[in-house]
Amino acid sequence: MTATPRCSVIVRTRNEAASIGLTLDLLAAQTAADGMEVIVVDSGSTDATTEIVRTRDVQLIEIPAAAFTYGGALNSGAEAASAPILVALSAHAFPRDREWLARLLACFGDERVAAASGEIFDWDDTPLAGARVQDLALAERNPYWGYSNAAGGFRRDLWEKHQFRADMPFSEDKEFAWHWLNQGWAVVIDPQLVVDHDHSKDPLPVIYKRSRAKWLAFSMYLPIDEYPLGSVVREWWSERGSWRRHTRARLSHRRAAALAGRYAGLRAGKRMQRRR
DSSP string, the chain: -PPPPSEEEEEEESS-TTTHHHHHHHHHTSTTGGGEEEEEEEE---SSHHHHHHTSSSEEEEE-GGG--HHHHHHHHHHH--SSEEEEEETT-B-SSTTHHHHHHHGGGSTTEEEEE--SB-TTSPBPSS-EEE-HHHHHH-TTSS--TTEEEEEHHHHHHS---TT-SS-HHHHHHHHHHTTT-EEEE-GGG--B---TTS-HHHHHHHHHHHHHHHTTTS------HHHHHHHHHH--TT-S-HHHHHH-HHHHHHHHHHHHHHHHHHHHHHH-
What is the value of pTM for the model shown?
A: 0.93
The pLDDT value recorded for residue 196 is 94
Give the residue extent of every domain in the chain.
7-193, 204-275
pLDDT in tens, the chain (276 residues): 346 789 999 999 999 999 999 999 999 999 999 989 999 999 999 999 999 999 999 999 999 999 999 999 999 999 999 999 999 999 999 999 999 999 999 999 999 999 999 988 888 778 898 999 999 999 999 999 999 999 999 999 999 999 999 999 999 999 999 999 999 999 999 999 999 988 777 899 999 999 999 999 999 999 887 788 888 888 887 887 767 787 887 888 888 998 999 999 999 888 877 776
The top-level CATH class assigned to 7-193 is alpha beta
pLDDT value at position 3?
Answer: 67
